[in-house]
Chains A and B, each alone.
Chain A
Amino acid sequence: MGPARCSGVGSGNSGAYTTEIAESLRFEEEIHSIVHPSLDSSPAAGGSFTALLGLPANQAVELLHETGPSEAPGSAAAPSPTGELWRLRLGEHAAGPLHLPLGCSPTFPSNAALVERAARFSVFAAEDSPALSSGGGPSPRLKAEPLDSDSPPLLPIPTEKTQRPAKRKECEKSKAKGPAKKSKSAEENTAAAAKETAAENTDGEKLPYVHVRARRGQATDSHSLAERARREKINARMKLLQELVPGCSKITGTALVLDEIINHVQSLQRQVEFLSMRLAAVNPRIDFGGLDSFLSAECGPLATANGRGGVALDPALWSSHPVTANGARWLPQPQIRHVDVWPTQQSSTAWTRDGPAHPHALLNPGASLVGYDPASSVLLNSNQLKTEL
C-alpha cells in the first residue's frame, strides 16, 4: 500500500525540499480529517506541514531536521521517528513533547527519509481511512482501538469482547470497502481481525457494526466468523478468570483451568460457611450496642472513624497485602488458603468451640467484652473495626 501511494511522491525526487512538502501536503485533506478530530490542540493551520503532523512548529522543524544527519542509519532512524509520530497521534494528541533521540542540526532533510516517512504516514492514513469511513457511528472507537496498539503499520487490533454476532451485511460491506480503498489488502488479508463492540451494553437497541477482517488463511463465511467471535469472547473471559483465581495463570488447557475455577468457587463458599459458623459462636460475646448509631448513616460513621488515618487504610486493607502498621489483624491473601486447609484437617461436623489452637482465632471465653465498660469498649472496638474495614 505504501509504494502505490508514494510513487507520486517518489517521482518528484529531484531534490527540492519544497516539492516534497507540497507532495506530502496532498495527503493533507485525508490526514486532516483524521488528525483533527483526534487532536484536541491541533495547532493552527492550514497547509503547513506542522499542522499535518499536528506538532508544534519547533518540534516539527526538529523532526524535519533530524532526518538530515541521520541519513546513514537511514532505515533505523526513520522508523523510530515515525514510531514517535504514531505515538503522538495515538495517545497524546500532540500534547506530549516529541522525544527525538538525535541532536538536530539545521540541515535540510534528505529526500529519501522524508519520502519514506511520508510514505509510512500515508500508509497509516490509508489504513485508517477506510476503517473510518465505513465505521460511521462507532468510528471514533474503532480508531481508538488501533491507536492503542504500539505495533507498526498493520494495525493489529486487540479483539475485545464482542456482542452477539451482528449484522453480517455490514461485515461484508466493510470488507468490500476495505479492499477497494487499499490496493495492497486486496491481495492479502491484513494480519489482524478488527472487531467493534459495545462491551457492556448487551441490551442495546441497535447493534453496532461489527467490522471483521478475516485473518490470513481463515475462512470468511459468516458462520465461522460468528463462531470465531464467540470463541474469542470465551477465551477472553477465561483469561480474566485465570487472573482472578490464584495459581491459575500457569495452567494451560481449558479443562484444568475450569477445574481450578470450580475448586476455587467451592472453597470460597466453604469458607463463607465456616466463617459464619465461627461468627455464630462468637456472636453472643459481642455487645453491638453502640454499633447502631454508627451504622445508621452509611458513610458518615466510616468517615469519622477513618479520620484517624484509616482512609489510607481502607483501600490498602482490601487489597491482598496485610496492613500491620496499625496493629490491625489482617489475614494476608495466602492465609486464606490456610483457612481453607484448616477445616479439612478436622471434620466439619466435629468442629467445636474449643477446637485446636488456631493462630488467629482464639476464642477466649475470658476475654468477653461484656466484662469491660460496654460503651467505651464497644465504641473502641467498632472504631477499630471500622478502621480495619
Chain B
Amino acid sequence: MESKSSTTGNRDNPNRNLHGSKTMMASHFLRALFRIQQTSTSSSSAGRSRRIRRAAYASMAYSAGTRRAWSRALLRKLRSRARLRFPRRLSRAATPQRRDMDQAQVLRKLVPGGPSMDDCKLLEETADYIRFLTTQVRLMQTVMDSVSS
C-alpha cells in the first residue's frame, strides 16, 4: 500500500498527497515512542528528547523510502549512529552576506544529502522534504494533543 501510493503521490505532482506514507510514518513513530518510553524510564528528559527527535526523522526517512535522495542520506546518517545535528541557531546565518550567494548553500545544509545535489535536484528534494516534515510535525502534534488531553 505504501509503495503504491507514494509512487503515485510522486507522480501526481498536482496532487501531492502523502496518503500511504502517513500511516507508515505514524505506526513507525508510535512504535519508536513506545520503545523509548520502555527503555529509558530513568534517563534524563534531554536524552529522551534526543531519541524522540531521532525517531521522528527515522520515521520520516522510512516512510519516504529509498526513492528520495534526502531519505537515503538520512537513513545513512541514522545507521552510522552519528549524532543528528541540525542547524538550530539562526544567529550566524542572519548576516546580510547570506542573501544571494549562500542561499543554495544554506539550503544544502538544511536538507539532508544536500551537498551532493545540483540546484535543480536540490529544489525538488526540498519540496519533498518540506512535505514530509510538515506531515511529521502534524503527527507529533496529534500525539502530543491526544496524550495531554
* Chain B positions 52-89 with a Cβ under 8 Å from a chain A Cβ: 52-53, 56-57, 86-88
Please judge, given known A-B contacts A270-B88, A276-B56, A280-B49, whether A318 and B37 are in contact too, CB under 8 Å.
Answer: no
Q: Assess the B123–A283 pair: CB atoms within 8 A.
A: no
Q: CB of A381 within 8 A of chain B?
A: yes
The distance in angstroms between the C-alpha atoms of A362 and B149, with both chains bound, is 8
Q: Assess the A276–B53 pair: CB atoms within 8 A.
A: yes
Chain A residues with Cβ below 8 Å from B30 are 291, 295, 385
Q: Assess the B123–A299 pair: CB atoms within 8 A.
A: no
Q: Assess the A283–B36 pair: CB atoms within 8 A.
A: yes
Chain A residues with Cβ below 8 Å from B111 are 265
Chain A residues with Cβ below 8 Å from B1 are 299
Q: CB of A259 within 8 A of chain B?
A: yes
Q: Assess the A233–B120 pair: CB atoms within 8 A.
A: yes
Q: Assess the A299–B23 pair: CB atoms within 8 A.
A: yes
Write the B123-143 contact mask toward A (1 if CB under 8 angstroms, else 0). Answer: 110110111011111111111
Closest to B123 in A: A237
Q: How many residues on chain A are close to B (CB under 8 Å)? A: 64
Q: CB of B41 within 8 A of chain A?
A: yes
The distance in angstroms between the C-alpha atoms of A389 and B26, with both chains bound, is 8
Chain A residues with Cβ below 8 Å from B136 are 272
* Chain B positions 29-54 with a Cβ under 8 Å from a chain A Cβ: 30-31, 33-34, 36-38, 41, 45-46, 48-53
The distance in angstroms between the C-alpha atoms of A199 and B124, with both chains bound, is 12
Choose one: B17, B38, B127, B133; the contact of A272 (CB below 8 Å).
Answer: B133
Choose one: A266, A331, A336, A388; the contact of B110 (CB below 8 Å).
Answer: A266
Q: CB of A261 within 8 A of chain B?
A: yes
Chain B residues with Cβ below 8 Å from A339 are 141
The distance in angstroms between the C-alpha atoms of A286 and B148, with both chains bound, is 9
Q: Assess the A237–B120 pair: CB atoms within 8 A.
A: yes
Q: Assess the B37–A259 pair: CB atoms within 8 A.
A: no
Q: Assess the A271–B127 pair: CB atoms within 8 A.
A: no
Q: Assess the A329–B149 pair: CB atoms within 8 A.
A: yes
Chain B residues with Cβ below 8 Å from A265 are 107, 110-111, 126, 129-130, 133
* Chain A positions 316-360 with a Cβ under 8 Å from a chain B Cβ: 317-318, 328-331, 336, 339, 360
Closest to B48 in A: A280
Q: CB of A264 within 8 A of chain B?
A: yes
User: Least Cβ distance of B22 to chain A in Å?
Assistant: 6
Q: Assess the A272–B53 pair: CB atoms within 8 A.
A: yes
The distance in angstroms between the C-alpha atoms of A266 and B133, with both chains bound, is 10
Choose one: A268, A295, A328; the contact of B27 (CB below 8 Å).
Answer: A295
Q: Assess the B134–A385 pair: CB atoms within 8 A.
A: no
The distance in angstroms between the C-alpha atoms of A318 and B37, with both chains bound, is 26
Tally of contacts, chain A with chain B, CB under 8 A: 176
User: Least Cβ distance of A275 to chain B in Å?
Assistant: 4
Q: Assess the A302–B23 pair: CB atoms within 8 A.
A: yes
Q: CB of A238 within 8 A of chain B?
A: yes
By CB atoms of chain A within 10 A, which of B22, B24, B127 has the most? B127
Chain A residues with Cβ below 8 Å from B144 are 275, 278-279, 282, 361
The segment from A50-58, A104-112, A139-147, A239-247 found at the interface with B is A239-247
The distance in angstroms between the C-alpha atoms of A270 and B130, with both chains bound, is 13
Q: Assess the B48–A241 pair: CB atoms within 8 A.
A: no
Q: CB of B91 within 8 A of chain A?
A: no
Q: Assess the A384–B146 pair: CB atoms within 8 A.
A: yes
The distance in angstroms between the C-alpha atoms of A266 and B143, with both chains bound, is 22
CB-based closest 6 A-B pairs: A280-B49, A237-B123, A276-B53, A276-B52, A280-B48, A275-B140
Q: B-side interface residues toward A, CB under 8 Å?
A: 1, 10-11, 13, 16-19, 22-24, 26-27, 30-31, 33-34, 36-38, 41, 45-46, 48-53, 56-57, 86-88, 90, 99-100, 103-104, 106-107, 110-111, 119-120, 123-124, 126-127, 129-131, 133-149
Please name 24 pairs of A and B residues whose Cβ atoms are closer than 8 Å in the assembled complex, sorted by A. A234-B120, A237-B120, A240-B127, A244-B16, A244-B127, A245-B130, A258-B104, A270-B88, A273-B53, A273-B86, A273-B88, A275-B137, A275-B140, A276-B49, A276-B140, A279-B140, A284-B41, A299-B1, A302-B23, A318-B22, A318-B138, A361-B145, A364-B148, A388-B146
